Chain A
Amino acid sequence: MALKMPAPEKAILSRREELIERLRAILPAASVIADETGRRAYDCDALTMYRALPLVVALPETVEQVQAIMALAQEMSVKIVPRGAGTSLSGGALPLEDGILLGMSKFNRILEIDYENRCARVQPGVQNLAISKAVERSGFYYAPDPSSQIACSIGGNVAENAGGVHCLKYGLTTNNILGLELVLMGGERLRLGGKHLDSELYDLLGLLTGSEGLLGMITEVTVRILQKPMTARGLLLGFPTVEAGARCVGAIIARGIIPGGMEMMDNATIRAVERFQPCGYPLEAGSLVIVELDGTPTEVDHLVEAVEAIACAEGAVMTKTSQSEEERLRFWAGRKNAFPAVSCIGPDYLCMDGTIPRARLPEVLSRMDALAKACGLRVANVFHAGDGNLHPLILYDASKQGDVERAERLGADILRLCVAVGGVLTGEHGVGVEKRDLMSEMFNDDDLAQQQRLKCAFDPQHRLNPGKVFPTLHRCAELGMMHVVGGKTPFADLPRF
């Protein structure tokens, strides 16, 4: 495997027995998993191509226990890898052989639902969908809906700043949380924000969201809950080409309409989906756009008409509008099954996550196609069209010699292409280990040094989730004195992994 993690520290490995004994003094016996079989269950997250056996797994259930573990880790200079539900697609929860895997699955309670203030206080291990389920009878929901929402935890959502299909209108995790409680390395407990709507001094709540478990352990989250729209209707719009579909998406937004969701897929994905579970997608279309409009019935009907007219003007070969809730859900069924459907046309796939300026889509797709052909692989595309977040699925066969490496190389080339056209490496899956070594495509040494200095403000010993996000580890003292002169790379001699 090409991925290089920091070498396990012998000084830590040699004190494993002592560490386990001291963890058992903090936690009930069943919450410290030391045997190999038990630890094996935690050896990867949803980026399954990388695995490592954690030194020990700790499953605390109180904030005091988390504090004690963070203090112990600091004292013994042991690393910690936080883990929510383990659904990260970028390896954010990949264990370290010389690190405690700190699993938050036992923090699974909804502490308070406050309808009047439109918020809920929840523990980090609560599943994303469980929040919406808990408040739906009162007509509320929690807006961010990553496709893993039946499994992923809210703590992990905060760590990754998770998105979903409704981001353009309702925002990412960061726009939908009001408060956090966290524990720093060393065991200090802090509260950021609360039920009020803004922060003062530095917006550490905003900084923590999307920090990928490198700054602190999240022990409580206050999320905003929203009133469910009165109604929602879906439209299926088929276009002869990807270009025409992309033009239509731009025209809808230019008309001042921000749909609740706007998704697109290419012909390869349409065919895969229809083979997997027919749901009326046009097999011959070059692209399919799914639009969802939500709000009050009058407004939705009004906007449906407007979008139909725009689609026709942009040359749609098919338009279909849902006439019932069942039909709307059927429109979405294909999109929601896109990943499993694609895995039926090729044994394995690698899901990429770049975001690009939407206008560059046709160009990016054709260059991507050329890149794929050059290395003999196929790519199917699913696209959060409204916000420009692209999910190319690279099809490969892990049983074929060299295919994994080819797919990874193609993935990296696709992300470089995204950055080159003004986009970014990751729209919602996070950097983790997967995109770590590509960070310098987007950021120069000064940019990365400033981010790492922030890491130092929280965790000067680099004990919390090291080896993720940043391609090079700098000691904090070095960063403090760092001065780049004449564009020379600082610490060119330090190892990169």
Chain B
Amino acid sequence: MTAIIDIRTPLDESEVVEVVRDANAAKTPLRIIGHGSKSALGRFAPQECGLTTRALAGVTLYEPEELVISARTGTPLREIVDLLDGNGQQLAFEPIDYAPLFGGAQRDDTIGGVIAVNASGPRRIKAGAARDHVLGFRCVTGRGDIVKSGGRVMKNVTGYDLSKLVTGSFGTLAVLTEITLKVLPKAETEWTVLVRGLDDEESLLILRRAGATPYEVASLAVAPHNGMHAAALRLEGPEISVVKRRDDLIAHFADSAARIEILEESDSRIFWAALRDATPVVGEEGQVWRVSVAPTDGFAFVQSIKRASAPILAHFYDWAGGLIWLRLETAPDAHADMIRDAVDRLGGHATLIRASDEVRSRVDVFHPQPTALSALTRRVKESFDPAHILERGRMRAEF
């Protein structure tokens, strides 16, 4: 990372406006930083000036019975998680912690960063992504206007749903200043049924069979456990229900040649937290990709890059087979063409998560779009930030 020379720390929204307007006047692009835990994510596009949301911190509203929390975007995620935990609640979308992938010591991210990258975990198939839990926000657009959208209630269709748009926009549209989220009760307990001793293709079929039962599996993955890949089926709910569903699932797979193993509550939590943070592909060496395809296409994707002799060092499947994390041997082009050709034949996208600054300035980090969609994407960007002031080059070279 090239050091940013000038980082400003606005103390409130009006100071954010000032910083953004100054940057527009000076035609100087701005980096937006929370605690910097994701600074290696996205295209490499060094800037001299930055803005940190560090001082915009604190929970501004929390009403557990209404399932709603609002916080300024510089609030540490840890603080929010602890507060919710104390009330038996959670962010059901389980945001990934990038610290293991990027060599950070411990979780140090802000809620603004979580929303800016639409961080979503293994519960995606049942509980949705981060974008499904954002009820509203306040921000300062690239023009320097304070804009709000959405609200604090569960059900709201008043005006365009800008919450979806800013979630995952990597700060390229606006500096988020406050976020309002839907929170949900934590399940009383969770257990995981592991089906072991099968190859990936058979394991993925187990996921499909488990998903077709009415036992309300919350997460479905094929990932390493004790050195070998296993099909992992996560059950959550009241204990009486989890125990019954566990037994039903075991009976369901009684015919298979596989070995069944159970992870009880604390082991189950550790297992899924590790998958959430992509730990199985962390490793010291190599470049890391995150690929999203239809669940039944996951295996075909991996097969196709294997046929093309992809030097895979580690991989696992989440989201019932539709999310593939991969670590490959380092290459100057990060094997981008091979990976994207395989994805394009199936439908979906591939994101380059970890590679050197040099590679991430040359290779498209985000999946290329067809021409018409790419032009529309740029018009949407410019409707918020016509001068490309915010996070210039972070998502696309052209803006």
Judge whether B165 and A206 touch: CB under 8 Å: yes
Judge whether A359 and B294 touch: CB under 8 Å: no
Q: Given A161-B161, A190-B372, A426-B157: A456 and B383 within 8 A (CB)? A: yes
Q: Determine whether A189 belongs to the interface, using a CB cutoff of 8 Å to chain B.
A: yes
Among B212-220, B260-268, B280-288, the one that faces the other chain is: B212-220
Q: Determine whether B211 belongs to the interface, using a CB cutoff of 8 Å to chain A.
A: yes
Of A384, A424, A431, A435, which is within 8 A of B151 by CB?
A: A424
From 139 to 190 in chain B, residues with beta carbon under 8 angstroms from any chain A beta carbon are 141, 143, 145-149, 151-165, 167-169, 173, 184-186, 188
Q: Given A197-B292, A423-B151: A256 and B158 within 8 A (CB)? A: no
Judge whether B159 and A446 touch: CB under 8 Å: no
Judge whether B372 and A188 touch: CB under 8 Å: yes
Q: Given A196-B349, A256-B185, A446-B145: A428 and B159 within 8 A (CB)? A: no
C-alpha spacing A6/B164, complex, angstroms? 30
Beta-carbon nearest neighbor of A222 in chain B: B294
C-alpha spacing A252/B288, complex, angstroms? 44
Judge whether A387 and B153 touch: CB under 8 Å: yes
Q: Given A197-B322, A446-B146, A451-B160: A355 and B155 within 8 A (CB)? A: yes
Among B26-34, B127-135, B193-201, B271-279, the one that faces the other chain is: B127-135
Among B63-71, B304-312, B329-337, the one that faces the other chain is: B63-71
* A residues less than 8 Å from B129 (CB atoms): 197-198
Among B51-59, B73-81, B117-125, B225-233, the one that faces the other chain is: B117-125
Min CB distance B18 to A, Å, is 14
Q: Determine whether B395 belongs to the interface, using a CB cutoff of 8 Å to chain A.
A: yes
Of A357, A447, A449, which is within 8 A of B63 by CB?
A: A357
Chain B: how many interface residues by the 8 Å CB criterion? 90
Of B160, B213, B248, which is within 8 A of A454 by CB?
A: B160
Judge whether A296 and B215 touch: CB under 8 Å: yes
C-alpha spacing A139/B118, complex, angstroms? 31
Judge whether B153 and A258 touch: CB under 8 Å: no
Beta-carbon nearest neighbor of A453 in chain B: B383
* A residues less than 8 Å from B143 (CB atoms): 483
Q: Determine whether B373 belongs to the interface, using a CB cutoff of 8 Å to chain A.
A: yes
Of A171, A189, A196, A358, which is within 8 A of B132 by CB?
A: A171
From 418 to 467 in chain A, residues with beta carbon under 8 angstroms from any chain B beta carbon are 422-431, 435, 439, 442-443, 446-451, 453-454, 456-458
Judge whether A449 and B65 touch: CB under 8 Å: no
Interface membership of chain A positions 301-315, coded 1 if the CB is closer than 8 angstroms to chain B and 0 otherwise: 011000000000000
Beta-carbon nearest neighbor of B153 in chain A: A355
From 59 to 117 in chain B, residues with beta carbon under 8 angstroms from any chain A beta carbon are 63-68, 88-89
Judge whether A426 and B158 touch: CB under 8 Å: yes
Judge whether A207 and B162 touch: CB under 8 Å: yes
C-alpha spacing A426/B322, complex, angstroms? 35
Interface membership of chain B positions 347-362, coded 1 if the CB is closer than 8 angstroms to chain A and 0 otherwise: 1110100000000000
C-alpha spacing A195/B198, complex, angstroms? 26
* B residues less than 8 Å from A424 (CB atoms): 151, 153, 156, 158
Judge whether A258 and B238 touch: CB under 8 Å: no
Of B148, B213, B214, B367, which is within 8 A of A200 by CB?
A: B367
Q: Given A446-B147, A450-B383: A200 and B376 within 8 A (CB)? A: no
* B residues less than 8 Å from A203 (CB atoms): 118, 131, 164-165, 167-168
Judge whether A117 and B146 touch: CB under 8 Å: no
C-alpha spacing A258/B92, complex, angstroms? 13
* A residues less than 8 Å from B153 (CB atoms): 355-357, 387-389, 422-424, 427
C-alpha spacing A163/B372, complex, angstroms? 31
Beta-carbon nearest neighbor of A415 in chain B: B158
Q: Determine whether B296 belongs to the interface, using a CB cutoff of 8 Å to chain A.
A: yes
C-alpha spacing A376/B73, complex, angstroms? 47
Of A195, A448, A457, which is within 8 A of B294 by CB?
A: A195
Interface membership of chain A positions 157-185, coded 1 if the CB is closer than 8 angstroms to chain B and 0 otherwise: 00011010001100110110000000010
The 4 A-B residue pairs whose C-beta atoms are closest, nearest first, are A206-B164, A256-B185, A299-B241, A195-B294
Q: A118-B211, A198-B323, A451-B162 are in contact. List 17 more A-B contacts (CB 8 A).
A: A114-B296, A116-B296, A117-B294, A160-B157, A194-B347, A194-B348, A200-B366, A203-B164, A204-B373, A256-B188, A295-B216, A359-B63, A424-B156, A447-B147, A448-B159, A450-B384, A469-B159
Could you list 12 A-B pairs, sorted by A, with CB under 8 Å? Answer: A190-B373, A195-B293, A197-B124, A203-B164, A206-B131, A257-B185, A296-B241, A298-B245, A389-B153, A442-B159, A443-B159, A447-B148
